[in-house]
């Protein structure tokens, strides 16, 4: 894996690798997709407990969801969150089928992301609903997502994300191999 790709994956994926998130969505140049989605990278991620799923490809960029299956299933199938997904046309089905349905909803590169993607990215349901009801306005804080409730708690979450990113990027810059960083170790 090239240096730039490893940095991209660590920059966006560290909160997942550290166990703070169930998934992350990255956008990569389409001309680099073969490097990320090669057998070697997919196997490495699987060995470390993560999966990669292409969620859509546009002319110049490709969306990839990186996730921990068990954690994502817990996020998606929790009662209130799943009820929200049902209001967007999802039914009881395996996670892979739900991801295929999400991919279809993301298929048009010129249309904004469907609101339910926040469920798949682990955003708080209150913030997803706040985003929809307020048409992306009137948020109390903006970080990894627009925050409409529990601002103080969410600031701590964002701080953990930032710390995990800094820690893992510093390790990589100091020579720790990418695959060793994927082991993850929660920051307390």
**Is 83 inside a domain boundary?**
yes
Q: Is residue 74 part of a domain?
A: yes
Q: Model confidence at 187, in pLDDT bands (50, 70, 90)?
A: very low
What pLDDT does residue 184 have?
A: 54
Instruction: For residue 140, tell me if it sits in a domain.
Output: yes
Any domain includes 135 = yes
Mean pLDDT score across all residues of the chain: 91
Q: Which pLDDT value is given to residue 52?
A: 95
CA–CA separation, 24 and 59 (whole Å) = 21
Number of domains in the chain: 1
pTM of the predicted model as reported, rounded to 2 decimal places? 0.91
Residue 180: is its pLDDT beyond 70?
yes
Q: What does the pLDDT look like over 77-113, one tens digit per residue?
A: 999 999 999 999 999 899 999 999 999 888 777 677 7
Instruction: Note whether residue 185 is domain-resident.
Output: no
Query: Distance (Å, rounded) from C-alpha 187 to C-alpha 62?
Result: 30
Question: What 3-state class would DSSP assign to 28?
Answer: strand
| Averaged pLDDT for residues 117-123 | 95
39 pLDDT higher than 90: no
Instruction: Tell whether 187 is covered by a domain.
Output: no
| Residue 186 maps to a domain | no
Could you read off the pLDDT of 121-178 as tens digits, one per residue? 999 999 999 999 999 999 999 999 999 999 999 999 999 999 999 999 999 999 999 9
Closest to 29 measured CA to CA, from 57, 51, 54, 7: 57
List all residues 6 or more positions away from 151 whose beta carbon is below 8 Å from its beta carbon: 140, 141
pLDDT band at 188 (very low <50, low <70, confident <90, very high): very low
Query: For strand 146-147 and strand 141-142, is the pairing parallel, antiparallel, or unpaired?
Result: antiparallel
Q: Domain span at residue 14?
A: 3-180
Residue 76 has pLDDT above 60, yes or no: yes
Phi, psi (degrees; rounded to nearest 5) at 134: -100, 5
For residue 188, is it within any domain?
A: no
**Is it the case that residue 19 has pLDDT exceeding 50?**
yes
The pLDDT value given to residue 99: 96
């Amino acid at each position: 894996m090239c240096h730039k790709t490893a940095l991209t994956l660590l920059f966006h994926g560290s909160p997942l690798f550290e166990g703070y998130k169930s998934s992350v969505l990255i956008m990569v140049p389409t001309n680099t997709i073969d490097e990320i989605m090669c057998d070697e990278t997919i196997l490495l991620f699987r060995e470390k407990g993560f999966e990669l799923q292409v969620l859509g490809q546009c002319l110049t960029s490709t969306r990839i969801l990186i996730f921990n299956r068990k954690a994502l299933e817990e996020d998606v199938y929790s009662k209130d969150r799943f009820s929200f997904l049902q209001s967007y046309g999802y039914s009881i089905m395996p996670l892979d089928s739900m991801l295929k349905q999400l991919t279809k909803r993301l298929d048009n590169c010129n249309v904004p992301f469907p609101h339910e993607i926040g469920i798949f990215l682990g955003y708080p349901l209150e913030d997803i609903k706040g985003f929809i009801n307020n048409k992306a306005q009137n948020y109390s804080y903006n970080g990894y997502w627009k925050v409409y409730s529990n601002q103080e708690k969410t600031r701590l979450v964002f701080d953990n994300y930032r710390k995990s990113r800094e820690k893992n990027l510093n390790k990589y810059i100091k020579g720790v191999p990418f695959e060793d960083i994927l082991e993850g170790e929660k920051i307390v």
